[in-house]
């Protein structure tokens, strides 16, 4: 299992950060790596990369302005994502952790680096969307 974490401060209040991160239906407006999202129901959605590769997400925990968790799966991996949001007044601390198990043995050495890259891009995209 590969584990990757990113922790940073975003200079916007927690309500703005929370609302943009959880507005899955608006990801195509600000995520640089997503071509579309499909909302299945209140607990499930599918994200499609720019190349059309689909990942299914199943939300398992929602604690408004504190915690968002989901399981994720596609043909290459399965895992869990945990997002912790901490109110810092006019700023928000985010702490995102992914636990991923590759489904293909040859991918194992590359998973952690890939997750780090994805997390870094997600934070860059969030910050740009809030500008």
Range of the domain at 15: 2-129
Question: How does the average pLDDT of the chain come out, rounded?
Answer: 96
Question: Which CATH number fits the domain that encloses residue 117?
Answer: 3.30.530.20
Q: Say if residues 129 and 30 touch (Cβ distance below 8 Å).
A: yes
Torsion-angle region of 123 (φ positive above 0: left; ψ -120 to 50: alpha; else: beta):
alpha
- The number of distinct structural domains making up the chain is 1
Measured CA to CA in angstroms, residue 92 lies from 18, 29, 118 at distances of 9, 21, 20
CA angle 118, 121, 126 (to 5 degrees): 125
Where do we find the tokens 């992914």? 98
For residue 128, the model assigns a pLDDT of 96
For residue 25, the model assigns a pLDDT of 96
Q: Is 90 exceeded by the pLDDT of residue 108?
A: no
For residue 69, the model assigns a pLDDT of 98
What is the tens place of the pLDDT at every residue in 23-73?
A: 999 999 999 999 999 999 999 999 999 999 999 999 999 999 999 999 999
């Amino acid at each position: 299992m590969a584990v990757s974490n990113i922790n940073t401060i975003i200079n916007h209040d927690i309500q703005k950060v929370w609302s943009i991160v959880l507005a899955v239906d608006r990801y195509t407006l600000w995520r640089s790596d997503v071509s579309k999202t499909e909302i299945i129901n209140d607990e499930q959605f599918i994200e499609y990369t720019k190349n059309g590769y689909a990942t299914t997400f199943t939300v398992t925990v929602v604690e408004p302005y504190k915690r968002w968790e989901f399981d994720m799966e596609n043909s290459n991996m399965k895992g869990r994502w945990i997002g912790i949001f901490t109110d810092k007044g006019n700023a928000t601390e985010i702490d995102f952790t992914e636990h991923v198990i590759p489904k293909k043995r040859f991918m194992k050495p590359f998973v952690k680096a890939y997750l780090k890259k994805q997390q870094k891009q997600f934070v860059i995209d969030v910050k740009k969307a809030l500008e």
